[in-house]
Amino acid sequence: KHEEKKEIKKDIELSQLKDIISQVQSLKVPMIGLTGGESLLREDLEEIIASIDERSSTILYTSGLGLTEQRARKLKQAGLFFISVSIDHYDKEVNDKLRFSGSYETAINAIRNSLEAGLYTISSVVVTEEIIDDLEKYIKWCNELGVHGIRVLDVVPSGECIKKPPVSIESRKKLVRI
């Protein structure tokens, strides 16, 4: 009987991460993006952000999982410049189907808490064939939420999107027009 071994991935140690950040900053990189998994799950995230000095701006890419207003304020105090919260649709059911159950409320709360903390806040949307026709309404909805911008991403065949095809040429033209 063959037993499948699951690889357990560990986070990079804080000291290693600080060393990497220092090396990256020595290359005069103007922006450093922190992404996951889910970066907000790191208890030392504020310390990581604080290790990035004024030579670079810091961006946090997140689903928003666990971003309270208090944590958002601590992240800003640590030096976070802006946050990008993933939310793909203005309709809760559609968004949760595209992301994960509860992702809509998670993202909405994160956006509100981020804005309240005074962080530059953007939404991040992965454009697929199933939502391209809703994109203009999504943009208006994001404006009503008060986000400062929208990050539009194409489907990358990885993770949950491994089986999703890229958008068609016609949809790309529509996206450019929008």
Q: What is the pLDDT along the chain (178 residues), one digit of tens a residue?
A: 445 555 556 778 999 999 999 999 999 999 999 998 899 999 999 999 999 999 999 999 999 999 999 999 999 999 999 999 999 999 999 999 999 999 999 999 999 999 999 999 999 999 988 899 999 999 999 999 999 999 998 876 666 666 666 788 898 899 889 8
Give how far Cα 19 sits from Cα of 68, 78, 83, Å: 29, 18, 23
Residue in this structure with the two tokens 């946090």, named with its chain if needed: 60
| Angle (CA) 159 160 166, round 5° | 95
